[in-house]
């Protein structure tokens, strides 16, 4: 099943063509760069948690893309939203612990959040149109 690119009507062949996935993937790369500078004692704590949560956003967008049913897509995208909220908290913790600058990751996470919300609304809207 082909998807519709976010903010356009072009058909996509795979998840990596989705703008929301591309931005989420970019956020993951930034998180990995940021966490490289964390104290070694955080390797199995904050470093691991933030990396896992960031990867989960992009991975769940990819997984939702391949699901056929709207209910499955929405459930998986909701999991991505939960991971996004986790990342928001972890970035606050990074700031408060003074482990690094979170300005850029925070801005990018906000962009991913808006795109993810729009993508979810688009899927819901398309499902309503198909069921009318």
- C-alpha distance from residue 130 to each of 35, 102, 116, 123 (Å): 44, 42, 21, 11
Give tens-digit pLDDT for 32-65: 999 999 999 999 999 999 999 999 999 999 999 9
The pTM of this model reads: 0.88
Residue 18 CA neighbour count, 13 Å, CB half: 26
Confidence label for 124 from pLDDT (cuts 50, 70 and 90): confident
Which residues, at least 6 apart from 126, have a Cβ–Cβ distance to it below 8 Å? Answer: 4, 70
Domains and CATH numbers, the chain: 13-131 (1.20.1440.60)
- In this predicted model, what pLDDT tens digit does every residue of 75-111 receive, in sequence order? 999 999 999 999 999 999 999 999 999 999 999 999 9
**Among 26, 13, 76, 33, which residue's Cα sits nearest to residue 55?**
26
């Amino acid at each position: 099943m082909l998807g519709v690119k976010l903010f356009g009507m072009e058909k996509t062949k795979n998840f990596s063509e989705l703008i929301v996935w591309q931005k989420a993937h970019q956020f993951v790369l930034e998180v990995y760069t940021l966490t490289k500078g964390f104290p070694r004692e955080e390797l199995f704590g904050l470093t691991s948690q933030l990396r896992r949560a960031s990867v989960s956003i992009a991975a769940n967008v990819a997984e939702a893309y391949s699901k056929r049913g709207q209910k499955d897509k929405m459930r998986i995208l909701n999991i991505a939203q939960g991971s996004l909220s986790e990342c928001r908290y972890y970035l606050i913790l990074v700031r408060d612990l003074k482990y690094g600058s979170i300005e850029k990751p925070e801005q990018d996470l906000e962009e991913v959040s808006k795109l993810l919300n729009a993508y979810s609304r688009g899927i819901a809207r398309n499902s309503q149109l198909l069921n009318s």
